[in-house]
Structure formats: C-alpha cells, structure tokens
Amino acid sequence: MRVLYWFRRDLRIRDNKALIEAASKADKVAAVFVIDPEVLRDRKMNFDDPRFIFLLDALRNLGSKMRLHVLYDKTREAFEHLLGRYRFDAIYTASPLSWHEDALVQEIKDVCRRSGVRLIEIIDNLLADQSSLGSPINFTMFYRKWRRLVNAETAGEVPPDNFVEIDEPDLNELCKRNGWRIPEERIWRADWYSHRLQSFSYKKYAATKDYPYLDGTSKLSPYISLGIVSVREVFNRAVRFSEEFVRQLAWREFYYHLKRRYPYMRDLELNPRRRGIMWENDKYLISAFKEGKTGYPIVDAGIKQLKAEKWIHNRVRLIVANFLVKDLLVDWRIGEEFFKEHLIDYDEVLNVGNWQWSASVGVDPLPIRIFNPVRQAEKYDPLCLYVKRYIPELTDHECERIHDPIRHRIRGYYEPIVDHNEQIKKFREMVSQVKESSTHH
C-alpha cells in the first residue's frame, strides 16, 4: 500500500489518530501540507503576519520529526499534480470540522474519484464522538452528556522511518524560493505549548480567567486550533485540576455539535426569533471600532491587543463583541469577519458560535445579555493595568476617569463615539421589532 497523508489542522505526529491509521495500513506514507494562497487571501494574511509565521514555525517543527512535503498552490491543483505524478492507493486525512474544510475535502474527494483513489477520513481532534451526543438543546445538557462520553485515551507516535520521500519541496526549499522567513523574535513560538501545558496553573484558572491583566488563561487555543497539540493531551493535563477549564473544551465541541445539527448557522442566526434585525452598520462607527478609536478604553485596548498579538483575552473578546453589536448596532457577521482577519486561534465554527452568542441571536439562554463596557472594565481591570499596557498614552490618567468616558472626558483621548445607555435602548427596540414582525407572520 502506498498512502498519502494530508495534514490540515493536525500538525503533530503524537496522538494523531488519522496519521496512525494511515501508517498502520501502509508500508510507507508520504505526507503533505498545502499552503493555499486563496486561504491566505481570504484571511488577509501576508507573509510577515504573525499568523503565517506561526504556521511556518509549526510546519518546521513537524518537519524536524518526519519527512514532510509542503506545497504552495491552490489545494485542488496541488492534489491534481500529486495524483497525476505518483501512484497512491489512498489518501488519509482527519475529518473536517469547519465549513471551509468541508468544502475543501469535498473538492479533493472529487479529484480522487477521477483518479480512482480513495480519500479516507478519520475522526480526530474531538474528545467525544459527535454522533453519540443526540440532540441536547442547551449547553448544560450537552455538557452532562458530553462529559460521560469523553474518551481522552491518547495514541502513540508514528516512527519517523514510516515516512517516505517524494520528489516535492520541503519547507526549507519553499521558504528559500518565496523569501519566507521565521524571525528569531516572534510573538508565538510553535513549540511553546509543551512548556505551557505543564507549567500553566489550571488550579487557579477559574479564579483568574476573567482578568485580562493576569496571565490567567492557558493561551493554548492557537495550538489546539492548528492541532499542534492534541486536545486529549490538554484535557488529560487539565482535568486533574480544573473542571472549569474542561468546560471551556466542552464549549468548543458544543459549537461543532451545533454546526453538525444546523449547518446553516454559518450565515443564519440560530435563534429564529432574532433573524432579520435591521442592523445600522454605520461605516464611521465600524471604522472607529476597527481602529481602536471608540473612546471606550477597554474596547480600544482589546482591538490594539488583537492587532498587535493576533490574540485577544477571552473576557475582552466578549466585551469587544458585545460593544460592536449592541452599542454600535452592527451586524455580528461584520465582527465575525473582522476576527477572522486577525485571530491566530481563528476557528470558523467557534468564531461564528461566539459572535452569535455575543449578539444574543444564538444559543444563549438569557433573553438579551448586555455587557456595559464601563462596568466590565471596572470589574475586570480595576487598576487599569490591562488598558494602560495597550494604551500607554493613558498611563498618567486616573483609573476611574479612564473607565467611564461618558462621565469623565479624558484629556487628549478620543471622544466616546456613542453613549452606551442610549444605544442599548435602540438595540432592545430593534430586537422587539423583529419579534413583533415574526409573531404577525
């Protein structure tokens, strides 16, 4: 058997179920990863973007443990080339989890069919078998069922001599050819996760996770998103110390579960009574938001962190998302797209699910959850440590003035672009109009 293994978001040889399956079925496995320029374009990712460098770094790490071939081409064309040039009996890959991956795998299936090659998908990168979960209606019910079904048994590692060389470039050649560099100084290092997995204080997680000025979240999301670390390894490490951390892993799978049941949620609100809201989508407000010039320092600091680090603290994600939708009255899809263009841990399904949750159009059981940016800042950044880290020009200002820009104008800082209290009334009105029209139908 000659088998081709297609890496996508499972960039590891340890505890990689699909890879282990491929190696068990074949004498020799050729392994490829495709860097698709269309995907880079879609996510507005250029070659010196920290997200692209992180990907290269992850591929370099993987390539140091095995023979890995990296192609820079449209995915379909890469596979047409590979199947035209080499004789493979089958292609193995991990089952897709996102809509984008679904479409991609479908397309490659089509290429395989024409070449008479089987494409075999192996379920991985999940802790529980999605098909056994039934149809729980809310997260709490899902969590109880999911918790019983978790299977976190890890598999071994595929030995490097199982991999075979084909006449395709490796990462080094590709980097030379395209002038790509992995700088010594970089925000995200692909091998950092192994240290972090062991050293992170899971015990304190529940108490610290909401305070953005602390190092209170694991920051493992980029590694889970690219599959650099197996989610089972993360679970096994966390479960001994923090059920709250395990709940966060469950949220990830809850959104995949919802996507499986309601594939249309990519573009359509999950909550039928919240469809058709007449968003204002004011261009001036959207651009002030994206530039971090809203006049609400906690929101602006979040945008600055997102743009500089390509990551944003989870509590601040919620504040920022709520602000865009409920204070600026902007369609959640615009926010989803904005995060997609910046987040290093971007996962299409989680991003859509979280934005719908923040907009109160998704699975949130509360009727309308309002985050007051002033109260949130006072509660979670009481000494302005987070805000001042990302907006150093506010260093000499008093904290209470910074947090409440409506009551206290901050000298030399942007005027607040909206009044929170006024906008929330408008938001409630927009929602009630939709409700009324849906009851008349």
| Per-residue pLDDT tens digits for 126-165 | 999 999 998 877 899 999 999 999 999 999 999 988 999 9
CATH number of the domain bearing residue 130: 1.25.40.80
CATH number of the domain bearing residue 341: 1.10.579.10
Sign of the alpha-carbon torsion through 239, 245, 247, 249:
negative
Quick one: 374 and 425 in the same domain? yes
* Residue 34 per-residue DSSP state: E
Total count of domains within the chain: 3
Provide the token pair at 413. 């800082």
* Tens-place pLDDT, residues 253-298: 999 999 999 999 999 999 999 999 999 999 999 999 999 999 999 9
- Domain extent for 255: 126-156+193-261
Query: Which of 123, 141, 174 is the last residue before a domain boundary?
Result: 123
Is 167 among the domain residues?
no
Examine the pLDDT at 441 and tell me if it is beyond 70: no
Is 330 among the domain residues?
yes
* Tens-place pLDDT, residues 322-365: 999 999 999 999 999 999 999 999 999 999 999 999 999 998 77
pLDDT of residue 27: 84
Quick one: 333 and 200 in the same domain? no
Is 117 among the domain residues?
yes
Query: Which of 234, 261, 288 is the last residue before a domain boundary?
Result: 261
Give the pLDDT band (50/70/90) at residue 440.
low
Q: What is the average per-residue pLDDT within 98-127? A: 97
How far CA 319 is from CA of 124, 379, 431, in Å, comes to 32, 12, 20
- The DSSP secondary structure of 62-111, one letter per residue, reads HHTTS--EEEES-HHHHHHHHHHHS--SEEEEEPP-SHHHHHHHHHHHHH
pLDDT of residue 135: 85
Examine the pLDDT at 89 and tell me if it is beyond 90: yes
Examine the pLDDT at 42 and tell me if it is beyond 70: yes
Examine the pLDDT at 200 and tell me if it is beyond 90: yes
Q: What is the average per-residue pLDDT within 97-123? A: 97
Quick one: 58 and 199 in the same domain? no
Quick one: 306 and 430 in the same domain? yes
pLDDT of residue 367: 80
Quick one: 411 and 273 in the same domain? yes
On whether the pTM is more than 0.85, the answer is: yes
Is 131 among the domain residues?
yes
Is 323 among the domain residues?
yes
How far CA 165 is from CA of 76, 187, 240, 426, in Å, comes to 21, 32, 41, 62
Quick one: 220 and 111 in the same domain? no
29 vs 435: which has the higher pLDDT? 29
Quick one: 217 and 143 in the same domain? yes
Give the pLDDT band (50/70/90) at residue 438.
low
Is 171 among the domain residues?
no
pLDDT of residue 436: 66
Query: Which of 261, 285, 307 is the last residue before a domain boundary?
Result: 261
Provide the token pair at 352. 């859509």
Quick one: 334 and 367 in the same domain? yes
CATH number of the domain bearing residue 117: 3.40.50.620
Give the pLDDT band (50/70/90) at residue 366.
confident
Quick one: 280 and 208 in the same domain? no
Is 3 among the domain residues?
yes
Quick one: 216 and 316 in the same domain? no
pLDDT of residue 288: 98
Quick one: 376 and 277 in the same domain? yes
Is 143 among the domain residues?
yes
Alpha-carbon distance of 276 to 425, in angstroms, equals 18
Q: Average pLDDT, whole number, for the chain?
A: 95
> Quick one: three-class SS letters along 297-363?
HHHHHHHHHHHHHCCCCHHHHHHHHHHHHHHCCCCHHHHHHHHHCCCCCCCHHHHHHHHHHHCCCCC
Quick one: 145 and 290 in the same domain? no
Q: What is the average per-residue pLDDT within 23-38? A: 95
The number of beta carbons lying within 10 Å of the beta carbon of residue 281 is 13
Provide the token pair at 378. 């006072």
